[in-house]
Amino acid sequence: MRTVRILSITFLAMMLAATLLADSSTRLKTDAEKSFFNEVIKACQSAVAGIKTTWEEERRSGVRNNDRITEDSEKYPLVHHFHISWADNKRIEEASMKANQELEAFAPEMQKQVANTDTKAFEELAAKLGKAAEAGDMAEVERLQKEAEVMAKQIEEGYKPMNQKIESIIEKNLPRDVKMTVRIAINKFYESFNQEPQTGKLSDGTTFYRVEDGRNRNGTWIEGTSFVFLGNAWKAGKDNDISIMQHPEQPEKPSASVRSIIVSIEAADKRALDALNSMNLAALKALIK
């Protein structure tokens, strides 16, 4: 009983220390900081209010002005990230059902290939490896591991056509143009592009940049991204061979002031352009002093 009591006291002491340590890394926001975030959040909400879509809203973040902030925040430009996304869940569900039907139709062929794959030698090798490990014969373990790696690679090669067929079914049925994500980054001063961006003009004359890098990521089709850079000193450049946009941090300005904003929309090309044209960018531009 005494031991349990001592352990309980120790645990409580550790929890208290952790809480104090966490609290010591943050502080209450000043009135100026609260006002800054209120103004920024209001502008971000206003900026996206005009985007028209019948899709379901998936997520919205960056809409709360918490009471606390990281220690020493006053030494740097205050940063805020706003995020909102929508999805055409009906088309996503329909595409998923179609892919599953095709995979089910392919299942007998998969089962046949698995059944015809001779894994007996690999299983015997695994058993030998286990016995060597139990005996503490690490030299033998290392030798058998190398042998097992070679054998596993051979089995993997045998499954390659089947895996390629599965991937092709999934890839073929991935729906395009079913998601849109808008991100607004306040006081972000650097953006890199994974390929050379194309440029264009919005209806109000604002320059936008488009990177067409649609890709399959974990079974979801990710569209390209359109960017708008708001601020008075953005410059295009190179970071080694990578194209970038960069803005000076302007440390002479107060911490609670907006110097630069990056708006990015991950969506199909036309949808992203329509969304940018319908956004209230003036609300964001007004933040920059």
Coil, strand or helix at 72: coil
Same domain, 189 and 279: yes
Q: Examine the fold and report which residue of 141, 172, 203 is the final residue of a domain before the chain moves on.
A: 172
DSSP state string for 3-68: HHHHHHHHHHHHHHHHHHHHHHTEEEPPHHHHHHHHHHHHHHHHHHTT----SEEEEEES----SE
Q: What is the pLDDT of residue 63?
A: 97
| Three-class secondary structure of residue 146 per DSSP | helix
Kindly state whether residues 102 and 240 are assigned to the same domain. no
Query: What's the domain range around 123?
Result: 92-172
Helices 138-172 and 89-116, axial angle in degrees (round to 10): 130
- Final residue in a domain of this structure, among 172, 193, 211: 172
Identify whether the C-beta of residue 261 lies closer than 8 Å to the C-beta of residue 206. Answer: no
Kindly state whether residues 201 and 281 are assigned to the same domain. Answer: yes
Rg (CA), the chain: 28
Residue 216 lies in a domain: yes
Asked which of 172, 202, 220 is the last residue of a domain, the reply is 172
How far apart are the C-alpha atoms of 186 and 180, rounded to whole Å?
20
CA atoms lying within 13 Å on the CB side of residue 193 = 22
Q: What's the CA gap between 286 and 39, in Å, rounded?
A: 10
* pTM (2 d.p.): 0.77
- Both 233 and 96 in one domain: the answer is no
Same domain, 265 and 183: yes
Q: Does residue 9 fall inside a structural domain?
A: no
Same domain, 230 and 272: yes
- What pLDDT tens digit does each residue of the chain (289 aa) get? 433 343 444 444 444 444 444 445 999 999 999 999 999 999 999 999 999 999 999 999 999 999 999 999 999 999 999 999 999 999 999 998 998 888 888 788 878 777 767 677 778 888 888 888 999 989 988 898 888 888 788 777 777 788 887 878 888 888 999 999 999 999 999 999 999 999 999 999 999 999 999 888 877 888 999 999 999 999 999 999 999 999 999 999 999 999 999 999 999 999 999 999 999 999 999 999 8
Are 129 and 97 members of one domain?
Answer: yes
